[in-house]
Amino acid sequence: QVQLVESGGGLVQVGGSLTLSCAASGRTKSVRAMGWFRQAPGKDREFVASMTWSRGATYYVASVKGRFTSSRDNANDTGYLQMNSLRPEDTAVYYCAATPTGAVTTTRLYNYWGQGTQVTVSS
pLDDT tens-digit readout, 88-103: 999 999 999 999 987 6
Contact at 8 Å (CB) between 51 and 65? no
User: pLDDT for 36-63, tens place per residue?
Assistant: 999 999 999 999 999 998 889 999 999 9
What does the pLDDT read at residue 48?
A: 97
- End-to-end CA distance of the chain: give it in Å, rounded: 40
Contact at 8 Å (CB) between 11 and 122? yes
User: pLDDT for 65-86, tens place per residue?
Assistant: 999 999 999 899 999 999 999 9
Contact at 8 Å (CB) between 25 and 76? no
Mean pLDDT of the chain: 95
What does the pLDDT read at residue 102?
A: 78
